[in-house]
Amino acid sequence: MTPLLSVHQVVKRYARRTGWPRRARGWVHAVDDVTLEIWAGETVGLVGESGCGKSTLARLLVGLARPTAGEVRFRNQPLIAMSRTEARGFHRSVQMIFQSPLMSLNPRMRIKDIVAEPLRIHRLADGQRLRARVAGLLEEVGLEAVLSNRYPHELSGGQRQRVAIARALAVRPALIVCDEPVASLDLSVQMQILRLLIRLQDAHHMTYVFISHHLGLVGAIAHRVLVMYLGRIVEVGENPAIFQHPLHPYTQALIASVLQPASQQLSAPAAILGEPTSPLHIPSGCRFHPRCPKVESRCRLEDPALIPRTGGRLAACHFA
Amino acid sequence: MTPLLEVRQLHVQFPRAPRDAVNGVDLTIHAEEIVALVGESGSGKTLTALSIGRLLPTTACWRAASIQFKHRDLLTLPDREFRHLLGQEVAYVFQDPASSLNPVLTVGEQLCEPLIVHRGMRWSEARTRAMELLAAVQLADPAETLPLYPHQLSGGMQQRVMLAMAALLNPALLIADEPTTALDATVQVQILALLLALRRQQGMAILLITHDLLHVAPIADRVAVMSQGRIVETAPTTQLYQSPQHPHTRALLSAMPRMGQGRLTHRTS
């Protein structure tokens, strides 16, 4: 069996251009040597703090960014080796939902045109059939028909995100990459959108990559969870096992930082964590060592590899 | 004991709006108390907070039966005196630290200015005090942070600077409007811990405004739940979690994701 989408030792670095004259002075290693496989039908949760490279990885997955090194393959075919027709098919099969629906929806287009646009571009429907398909999509994501003539600014945040979902769904993709799809929404609306995503996944047998910095949300939707830190994947595990027995100290710290209704005390492990390290100055050895409670001299020198542990878990830590 | 702040029958309305955005809110905060105001967007929680400091947009009409702060009637206080009160006695921290900080002034200039204006300090004194406060909000290196501009700091560091600035003149009341929403989960916990520490060190009361009941659990003494312009339930925090009375509170509590319990199913909705 081949994975739906796979990433092989991918690196993405951006030049940091500053000063005068403006030229590259240093590099930002946004994604640094990441390998992963995404299987049809699963939801992969990707968690990490801001600056850890999760959005860059999302852009690499959908082909919005080209890797500096390494390879992304869709159904075992490298993206860069695709012909125009094949690339078109790829872009139809892989869709993306962004964090801010207001910024990802064209403010000058009506809702019905926004949802119809991918169908027009991929020449999947026109005329009466197009209108019927758009109406069906809006109904499927729980939007009333009267909204189809409105503009994005006339809708609430939750409704806008439903429009973004309908647009992604229009071309019947195999994979949807959701980059912080609910971060800008109220808590109660967040849950509605998660339930909608899960219902659509069951109905259409889709695969999701769900990116968030919020472990609670990822735990509510993902089958498998990937934890990223400074451009690397540091732990991979099944949900909920990874939350119950986290191996990597960073995963443990992330879990400690999730507020639970029962917790009357702010937990101590999270308080010693400090600010995320800048991807401009990647520490030697294990990248997490400046913030790690278990740090020893070995961690400052040797970079731990992401290797299999018991129970199908992968973790990159000398002490896992 | 008379409360620090007592708001009675606050109404805020906008022209041509079908109903009052804030519809008869009563709110009391005692000295050194942390009160959380929780509600969804549009429930009127931010407008309530802004009207205390006369910071509402000019299109809004507001009225109240009374607003008492430290035995003073805020409704009749002249603007000149009110300006003196704001910053010294009542300080605000907003959701987005990047847009609350002045982008063309360094952190040091912004922190020292209130001390020079309100307290008549010299630059050198103000600088020392500013460094003390940056250390109090657990910025790693206060001396190196002072000459930096806001855009050179991360979101969490910016919010720490905002908190330092709010605590600078030792206000009796800090109004924090979604202070952690824009931050990473790991940093959110640190900022909440910092609010607790500020209360302990400086004895300030805090009005914490948030849409997320989870942010309230570890730090608030009392929670007021707002919905559609009204406060629908007020209770001590533990009591609110154990026996929520109002259906809206129960809905908010059930909307919270619980980690480690596996995936949601769409059938439970």
Question: Hey, what are B40's tokens?
Answer: 């969804």
Q: How many Å lie between the alpha carbon of A204 and the closest alpha carbon of chain B?
A: 14
Say which of A188, A239, A254 has its CB closest to residue B252: A188
- Pick the residue from chain B with its C-alpha nearest to A251: B186
- Residue B155 is predicted with a pLDDT of 86
What whole-number distance in Å separates Cα of residue A271 and Cα of residue B193? 8
Q: Does B80 contact chain A (CB < 8 Å)?
A: no
**Window B:131-190, CB contacts with A under 8 Å:** 140, 154-157, 184-190
Q: Does B215 contact chain A (CB < 8 Å)?
A: yes
- Residue B187 is predicted with a pLDDT of 83
Q: Return the CATH fold of A5-17+25-315.
A: Rossmann fold (3.40.50)
Inside any domain, residue B54: yes
Say which of B184, B189, B238 has its CB closest to residue A49: B184
What whole-number distance in Å separates Cα of residue A256 and Cα of residue A269? 6
Is the pLDDT assigned to residue B101 strictly greater than 90?
Answer: yes
**pLDDT < 50 stretches in chain A:** 268-269
Is the pLDDT assigned to residue B52 strictly greater than 70?
Answer: yes
- Residue A269 is predicted with a pLDDT of 46
Mutation to test the A interface, candidates B243, B264, B267, B268, most A Cβ within 10 Å: B264
Is the pLDDT assigned to residue B84 strictly greater than 90?
Answer: no
Q: How many Å lie between the alpha carbon of A144 and the closest alpha carbon of chain B?
A: 19
Task: Write out the residue range of the structural domain in which residue B106 sits.
Answer: 5-258
Q: What are the residue ranges spanned by the domains of chain A?
A: 5-17+25-315
Of the pLDDT bands very low, low, confident and very high (cuts 50, 70, 90), residue B262 is confident
Q: How many Å lie between the alpha carbon of A141 and the closest alpha carbon of chain B?
A: 13
What's the rounded mean pLDDT across residues B45-54? 93
Of the pLDDT bands very low, low, confident and very high (cuts 50, 70, 90), residue B269 is very low
Say which of B154, B214, B237 has its CB closest to residue A259: B214
Q: How many Å lie between the alpha carbon of B191 and the closest alpha carbon of chain A?
A: 9
Inside any domain, residue B268: no
- Residue B174 is predicted with a pLDDT of 96
Inside any domain, residue B267: no
What's the rounded mean pLDDT across residues B233-247? 90
A62 torsion bin: left (phi>0), alpha (psi -120 to 50), beta (else): alpha
Contacts of A267 in chain B (CB under 8 A): 189
Say which of A187, A264, A270 has its CB closest to residue B256: A187
Q: How many Å lie between the alpha carbon of B263 and the closest alpha carbon of chain A?
A: 4
Contacts of B243 in chain A (CB under 8 A): none
What's the rounded mean pLDDT across residues B23-28? 94
**Window B:31-50, CB contacts with A under 8 Å:** 40-41
Q: Write the single-letter amino acid at A80.
A: I
Question: Hey, what are B53's tokens?
Answer: 């400091």
Of the pLDDT bands very low, low, confident and very high (cuts 50, 70, 90), residue B98 is confident
| Beta strand spans in chain A (E) | 5-18, 23-38, 43-47, 69-74, 77-78, 94-97, 175-179, 207-212, 224-229, 232-238, 307-308, 314-315
- Residue A264 is predicted with a pLDDT of 53
Inside any domain, residue B154: yes
How far is C-alpha B266 from the chain's CA centre?
35
Is the pLDDT assigned to residue B1 strictly greater than 80?
Answer: no
A54-59: long-range pairs with CB below 8 Å, 24+: A54/A179, A54/A211, A54/A213, A54/A228, A55/A179, A55/A180, A55/A211, A56/A12, A56/A30, A56/A31, A57/A7, A57/A10, A57/A12, A57/A31, A57/A228, A58/A96, A58/A177, A58/A179, A58/A209, A58/A211
**With an 8 Å Cβ cutoff, are A188 and B251 in contact?**
yes
Cβ neighbours of residue A207 closer than 8 Å, sequence gap 6 or more = A4, A5, A38, A39, A40, A41, A42, A43, A44, A174, A175, A176
Q: Write the single-letter amino acid at A13.
A: R
Q: Write the single-letter amino acid at A274.
A: G
**With an 8 Å Cβ cutoff, are A191 and B265 in contact?**
no
- Residue B241 is predicted with a pLDDT of 86
Contacts of B225 in chain A (CB under 8 A): none
Say if CB A201 and CB A170 are below 8 A apart: no
Mutation to test the B interface, candidates A239, A250, A258, A278, most B Cβ within 10 Å: A258
Q: How many separate domains does chain B show?
A: 1
For residue B36, the domain's CATH number is: 3.40.50.300
- Lowest-pLDDT range of A208-212, A245-249, B213-217, B242-246: B213-217
Strongest mean pLDDT among A34-43, B117-126, B191-200: A34-43
Say which of B40, B186, B219 has its CB closest to residue A273: B186
Inside any domain, residue B81: yes
Q: How many Å lie between the alpha carbon of B183 and the closest alpha carbon of chain A?
A: 9
Tell the residue number behind the tokens 């640190």, with chain if given. Answer: B190
Of the pLDDT bands very low, low, confident and very high (cuts 50, 70, 90), residue B253 is confident
Q: How many Å lie between the alpha carbon of A285 and the closest alpha carbon of chain B?
A: 22
Give the tens place of pLDDT for each residue, B132-159.
Answer: 999 888 887 888 899 999 998 888 889 9
